[in-house]
Amino acid sequence: MVSNTKIIFAKIPTTFPVAGEHMIVEKSEIDLDAELPQGAILLKTLVLSVDPYMRGRMRDASIQSYSPAFPLNQAMSGHVVTQVLKSNNPKFAQGDLVYGLGSFAEYVLVPEAYTAYFEVRNEIKTSGLPISNYVGVLGMPGMTAYVGLIKFGKPVKGETLYVSAASGAVGQLVGQIGARLGLRVVGSAGSDEKVAYLKELGFDAAFNYKTTDYEEALSAHCPNGIDIYFENVGGKMLEAVINHANRFARIVCCGMISQYNTQNPEPIHNLIQVVAKSLEIRGFIVGDSPEMTEPFRKDVTEWLKAGEIKYREDIAEGIESTPEALIGVLRGKNFGKQVVHVADL
Amino acid sequence: MVSNTKIIFAKIPTTFPVAGEHMIVEKSEIDLDAELPQGAILLKTLVLSVDPYMRGRMRDASIQSYSPAFPLNQAMSGHVVTQVLKSNNPKFAQGDLVYGLGSFAEYVLVPEAYTAYFEVRNEIKTSGLPISNYVGVLGMPGMTAYVGLIKFGKPVKGETLYVSAASGAVGQLVGQIGARLGLRVVGSAGSDEKVAYLKELGFDAAFNYKTTDYEEALSAHCPNGIDIYFENVGGKMLEAVINHANRFARIVCCGMISQYNTQNPEPIHNLIQVVAKSLEIRGFIVGDSPEMTEPFRKDVTEWLKAGEIKYREDIAEGIESTPEALIGVLRGKNFGKQVVHVADL
């Protein structure tokens, strides 16, 4: 028997979750030598991803949403890269690297029915890229950036793109793709250090939304108005962007993090401008664009290998750091994509 | 010299405009026998259209918007059908019926530069349809319905369409096109009489939004949720619709009449659902879809001639009734498309 630490969803939060209350670290044991059921696989978690959308899963299971609620008193789950320790399934071999939606535990026994959530990606062994990249820039957040900007943003060279939460998991890639496409790219982030990083990435302008008036900053940095807004935060920022949007602007929404931990959402007062400016506001979930998986992986892998794009990660050490890492993301404490390093290959 | 009554924009309103204060009826004279300048035409107005969007034109001219502000102390303007009394322009002949954006006056001298706003439509003489139809179901409001539902609503047979302000200039056509396309069509209007009319038109369900709780009504009448919302009103109604929207619903916005006459717009609190439900909210102006003019005119003329669709108009008599007619539209007093009959052919 070996020790197997898990992250348990223990209580539904009403505002910000608290480590040790809503999420708890639970020690258990697992027998790695036990016989596997037919079709099952045994995985060792290498890295796991904590992302803002997980706050939406910390709800009462009776409330329907696009992503299922975390069951109470069970391990949380999310995107992981794992290694196959043992397999009783012909699709997986011992030693394979596997990407998918997995339980937040050091070791996970996956019954046959759930193996569909996993995909063998042995190119991770040879790409020369950090394993953590595969839950970030090459995983769900990276694909969210790629799909959101290209498919829903409908960018046209010379247009102005504004990205909020721009140094985060999604935003930093959005901005760099925008720059490649010849857009004027403007970003905002929550510290001067993050703002400096955005400029390093090639953003044309960036500002600290905590110390700057939104309206003034958008006037200064988007002198020709905003054509595409990559929406990550919601609330007052969205309202300000609508005021600065050009006719036919596209507002692409993959998250509204400012609204996740409040029981009193900030209202939007200026939606009338949707009519006056022929705006398009489009929410999307990356899973609904499977046709873009291959082009996304090919392009972004190529850009990373060639050093044409950068991607900063904020790596928490050890699975027991997961609750604090997720809370940090919800509070904007992370600098770059937040991942948790669980074990080495 | 003959008398020529005009409707003058006299003052910028802050809430609802008042007849005699913000819009005044002005008597003047015109010499119908005077020589026309090169390229000019002299028009006699037959019908004119008053529409909700005109409230947006009653603003300070320094505020930019899609539709130019009405200049103060000049005649208001809008869609009209007129007859050419005299022409010094080869594109127009005496007796032609002409559709376009014209000044609200009984007689209008159009200098050459402004003749581009007018189009000869002599088919009006022979179609057998009322002239007033050409500023309504066959004019800008009708095309708004057609373009909004077909191009932006992206209807799929079996889906549920909800239309607010459904007995109005745009809504009654939206609902009937929706029914032709095999949608479940639900409408709301502001009186029981209007609701009864919607059922006559073939709406599957309709309710009086002044006497019914929006949420309850939408639950009752849209048991499978809302796939397309044709937005005419904004505010609390929009918020309720977002609560009842299905994943991938399209919210097509051509107006938000509830918000035109207030200085304190009703905020929307639940935009986070744009992400959760992958909603698409799209504002549009019909003038941006010129490619749909011909199919629209062909289809709707055919449906009207065949008696397959109905279109109710509320006809005010005499140009001097224009201010009250427009105010009535803004207050929802009209029953059907509001037009003003100015003169007979």
- Collapsing DSSP states into helix, strand and coil, what is residue B286? helix
pLDDT given for residue B258 in this prediction: 67
**Separation between Cα atoms, residue A95 and residue B224, nearest integer Å:** 47
In percent, how much of chain B has pLDDT > 90? 88
Flag if A275 and B282 touch (Cβ within 8 Å): no
- Separation in Å, CA of B154 to nearest CA in chain A: 14
In percent, how much of chain B has pLDDT > 70? 99
Question: In chain A, which residues have their Cβ closer than 8 Å to the Cβ of B238?
Answer: 271
Distances (CA, A) of A108 to A42, A69, A116: 6, 20, 14
pLDDT digit string, tens, across residues A128-163: 999 999 999 999 999 999 999 999 999 999 999 999
Give the other-Cβ count within 10 Å of B248's Cβ: 16
Question: In chain A, which residues have their Cβ closer than 8 Å to the Cβ of B285?
Answer: 275, 278
- Separation in Å, CA of A331 to nearest CA in chain B: 18
Q: pLDDT band at residue A258, thresholds of 50, 70 and 90?
A: low
Q: pLDDT band at residue A69, thresholds of 50, 70 and 90?
A: very high
B314-331 average pLDDT score: 97
Question: In chain A, which residues have their Cβ closer than 8 Å to the Cβ of B276?
Answer: 56, 65-66, 283
Question: In chain A, which residues have their Cβ closer than 8 Å to the Cβ of B277?
Answer: 66, 283
Question: In chain B, which residues have their Cβ closer than 8 Å to the Cβ of A288?
Answer: 278
pLDDT given for residue B235 in this prediction: 87
**A–B: how many Cβ contacts below 8 A?**
98
Q: Which residue has the higher pLDDT, B99 or A345?
A: B99
What is the CA angle A168-A171-A173, rounded to 5?
110
Find out whether A342 and A315 touch, Cβ atoms under 8 Å: no
Considering only CB atoms, B283 lies closest to which of A65, A268, A278, namely A278
Q: Is the pLDDT of residue A229 over 70?
A: yes
Tokens representing A107 are 């070791």
**Separation between Cα atoms, residue B206 and residue A306, nearest integer Å:** 60
Q: pLDDT band at residue B234, thresholds of 50, 70 and 90?
A: confident
Tokens representing A167 are 């140094």
Nearest residue on chain A to B285, alpha-carbon basis: A278
**Separation between Cα atoms, residue B27 and residue B3, nearest integer Å:** 7
Flag if B259 and A272 touch (Cβ within 8 Å): yes
Flag if B66 and A277 touch (Cβ within 8 Å): yes
Flag if A256 and B271 touch (Cβ within 8 Å): yes
- Separation in Å, CA of A272 to nearest CA in chain B: 6
Flag if B272 and A256 touch (Cβ within 8 Å): yes
Flag if B278 and A283 touch (Cβ within 8 Å): yes
3-class SS letters over A153-168: CCCCCCCEEEECCCCC
Considering only CB atoms, B270 lies closest to which of A254, A265, A272, namely A265
pLDDT given for residue A222 in this prediction: 98
pLDDT digit string, tens, across residues A177-211: 999 999 999 999 999 999 999 999 999 999 999 99
pLDDT given for residue A63 in this prediction: 84
**Separation between Cα atoms, residue B2 and residue B52, nearest integer Å:** 31
- Separation in Å, CA of B61 to nearest CA in chain A: 15
Ordered structural domains, chain B, with CATH:
2-135+312-341 (3.90.180.10), 140-287 (3.40.50.720)
One-character DSSP codes across B22-71: TEEEEEEEE-TTSPPPTT-EEEEEEEEE--TTHHHHSS-TTS--SSPPPP
Mean pLDDT of chain B: 95
| Closest CA relative to residue A103, chosen from A180, A30, A153, A173 | A30
Using beta carbons and an 8 Å cutoff, which residues of A are at the interface with B?
56, 65-66, 234, 238, 247, 253-256, 259, 265, 267-285, 288
Question: In chain A, which residues have their Cβ closer than 8 Å to the Cβ of B274?
Answer: 253, 256, 281-283
Question: In chain A, which residues have their Cβ closer than 8 Å to the Cβ of B270?
Answer: 265
pLDDT digit string, tens, across residues B138-175: 999 999 999 999 999 999 999 999 999 999 999 999 99
pLDDT given for residue A35 in this prediction: 95
Flag if A65 and B268 touch (Cβ within 8 Å): no
Amino acid at A76: M
**Separation between Cα atoms, residue B330 and residue B258, nearest integer Å:** 8
Flag if A253 and B274 touch (Cβ within 8 Å): yes
- Bridging pattern class, strands A160-163 and A184-189: parallel
The CA radius of gyration of chain A, in Å to the nearest whole number, is 21
Find out whether B20 and B68 touch, Cβ atoms under 8 Å: no
Q: Which residue has the tokens 């028009």?
A: B43
Q: Which residue has the tokens 């930093």?
A: A172
Q: Is the pLDDT of residue B254 over 80?
A: yes
- Separation in Å, CA of A25 to nearest CA in chain B: 29
Sheet holding B226-231, edge to edge: A205-208, A184-189, A160-163, A226-231, A245-253, A280-283, B280-283, B245-253, B226-231, B160-163, B184-189, B205-208
Flag if A280 and B280 touch (Cβ within 8 Å): yes
Flag if B265 and A270 touch (Cβ within 8 Å): yes
Flag if A234 and B281 touch (Cβ within 8 Å): no
**Separation between Cα atoms, residue A242 and residue A265, nearest integer Å:** 17
Flag if B271 and A56 touch (Cβ within 8 Å): no
pLDDT given for residue B317 in this prediction: 98
| A interface test, pick of B151, B231, B256, B272 with most A CB neighbours within 10 Å | B272
Q: Is the pLDDT of residue A216 over 80?
A: yes
B311-335 average pLDDT score: 96
Q: Is the pLDDT of residue B263 over 90?
A: no
Nearest residue on chain B to A152, alpha-carbon basis: B280
Considering only CB atoms, B271 lies closest to which of A268, A272, A277, namely A268
B269-274 average pLDDT score: 90
In chain B, beta strands by DSSP E: 2-9, 23-30, 41-49, 74-75, 77-87, 97-103, 107-110, 118-120, 160-163, 184-189, 205-208, 226-231, 245-253, 280-283, 313-317, 337-341
- Collapsing DSSP states into helix, strand and coil, what is residue A326? helix
Composition of chain B by helix, strand, coil, percent to 5: 30, 30, 40
Q: Is the pLDDT of residue A336 over 90?
A: yes
Nearest residue on chain A to B266, alpha-carbon basis: A269
pLDDT given for residue B168 in this prediction: 93
Q: Is the pLDDT of residue A259 over 90?
A: no
Q: pLDDT band at residue A67, thresholds of 50, 70 and 90?
A: confident
Q: What is the ipTM score, two decimals?
A: 0.90
**Separation between Cα atoms, residue A4 and residue A30, nearest integer Å:** 6
Flag if A282 and B272 touch (Cβ within 8 Å): no
Distances (CA, A) of B63 to B2, B59, B69, B77: 37, 7, 8, 18
| Closest CA relative to residue A185, chosen from A216, A212, A153, A144 | A153
Question: In chain A, which residues have their Cβ closer than 8 Å to the Cβ of B283?
Answer: 273-280
B78-96 average pLDDT score: 98
Flag if A268 and B267 touch (Cβ within 8 Å): yes
| Closest CA relative to residue B337, chosen from B79, B101, B153, B108 | B79
Flag if B274 and A283 touch (Cβ within 8 Å): yes
Mean pLDDT of chain A: 95
pLDDT given for residue A267 in this prediction: 87
Question: In chain B, which residues have their Cβ closer than 8 Å to the Cβ of A255?
Answer: 275
Nearest residue on chain A to B255, alpha-carbon basis: A275
Question: In chain B, which residues have their Cβ closer than 8 Å to the Cβ of A269?
Answer: 265, 267
